[in-house]
Amino acid sequence: MNYAMNLIENLKKHPNGIKLFLVLFYAVGVTAIYMPFSANLFISLTPLALIMSFGLLMIFHEKFDFKTIGIFTLIFVAGYFVEVLGVNTGLIFGNYKYGETLGIKLLETPLIMGLNWILMIYLTASVVEKYQIPVLLKILISSTIMVGYDLVLEQVAPQMDMWNWQNSSIPMQNYLAWFGIAVIFHGLLKISKTKTKNELSVTILICQILFFVALLYK
């Protein structure tokens, strides 16, 4: 336990080093996926990359308390079961099925999707938080960034076997649902006054967006 705490404290002292590591990590990932002999291996590491990014992000989170843990848990559970309902009924996002890349599934839905909702809500809230603008505008801008992120992600997800849409057609319903759910979750963060200031947020969000943008041309 002491070793882990010391490691975390040492990492906190080197935010620029962590940012450089993240940039190199995602750059290596893109390069490896472009290589036929390593593509499948690195695509299969997608869940681990998400977990690592989230873990590093949380190391630089300013304040952990029961309220924060509770909000994160709520977003994880709610986000996951929205995905469960969506993939099993087609009523929320449209008709799609998850592939094998995102790992262990329960109810036809990868467990990592709950974590992904926390990660994306936190990142988009964090990058907007520093601006002195009305709370409602922060919620709308953060949610719009999430839709922009999804616009790119949806083009790459099938080739990485993350998920596939029926007839390879992405319905507008998907983006409207993403925006609506994002507004609810961002509103929850604001109502609960959960802190999202974080030194790594901009770096991780940009790395993820550029990662998927780069793969558009594969």
Angle between helices 112-129 and 66-89 (to 10 degrees): 120
Question: Which helix (H) or strand (E) element contains residue 97?
Answer: strand 96-98
pLDDT tens for residues 89-132?
999 999 999 999 999 999 999 999 999 999 999 999 999 998 99
Sign of the CA dihedral 55, 57, 60, 62?
Answer: negative
Q: Are 145 and 209 in contact (CB under 8 A)?
A: no
pLDDT tens for residues 54-74?
999 999 998 888 889 999 999
What is the pTM assigned to this prediction? 0.94
Instruction: Judge whether residue 185 has pLDDT over 70.
Output: yes
Q: Which two tokens stand for residue 99?
A: 């592939």
User: Model confidence at 155, in pLDDT bands (50, 70, 90)?
Assistant: very high
> Could you say which DSSP state residue 114 is in?
H
Q: Are 154 and 87 in contact (CB under 8 A)?
A: no
Give the pLDDT score at 44: 95
Alpha carbons 113 and 103: distance in angstroms, whole number? 10
Question: Which helix (H) or strand (E) element contains residue 214?
Answer: helix 201-215
Higher-confidence position of 53 and 1: 53
pLDDT tens for residues 170-180?
999 999 999 99
